[in-house]
Amino acid sequence: MSQPIQFADPNFKLAVVQELMYNQDLLPRFTLREYAAEQGFTYDGGSVEAVPEALAYFEALEVPAGLAEKVTEIEMDGGNEIYLEIAPNWDGEDGTFDVDEFADVAHFPNLTSMTLLYTGNEEALKTLRARGIEADWL
């Protein structure tokens, strides 16, 4: 098994995991309901807040470096499964999952396209585009 990727930005990691786990089925699928039952905790399914146990799960999840080449696009959307598994009623209206740091793109040589949750950070778009990544806001 290859070494895990060390991510600088936890929300960038979540965007990558969305692609690998839910879009490509290359990582074991996480389901909050099942995880809560296994771990013996409850959560408020009506809350827009992130469930701490779900965040901790993804924080601890190792993404093997060997999967990095499989990531060619990242599409961040408020309706992505990963966000709804972490914060079941999240509406995408706040910055909970915004990416602030883009150093992690260096791990993904085949990444050519990114759609980002809107933060207004035009510098981020310029940085990504300078790396040859087609980047835009959702």
Predicted pLDDT of residue 1: 57
Backbone phi, then psi, for 134, in 5-degree steps? Answer: -70, 110
User: CA 75 to CA 71: how far, in whole Å?
Assistant: 11
Identify whether 5 is part of a domain.
Answer: no
Q: Look over the chain and give the mean of its residue pLDDT values, rounded to a whole number.
A: 95
Q: Specify the pTM.
A: 0.96
Q: Which residue has the tokens 């980047």?
A: 135
Please name every residue paired with 114 in a beta bridge, in sequence order, or none if there are none.
74, 135
Domain enclosing residue 127, as ranges? 10-137
The answer on pLDDT for 120 being more than 90 is: no
Tell me whether residue 3 is in a domain.
Answer: no
Average of pLDDT values for 66-74? 98
Domains identified in the chain, total number: 1
Across the range 1-25, mean pLDDT stands at 95
- Residue 4 inside a domain? The answer is no
Neighbour count for residue 40 (Cβ, 10 Å)? 7
In the structure, what pLDDT confidence band is assigned to residue 96 with cuts at 50, 70 and 90?
Answer: very high
15's enclosing H/E stretch is helix 10-17
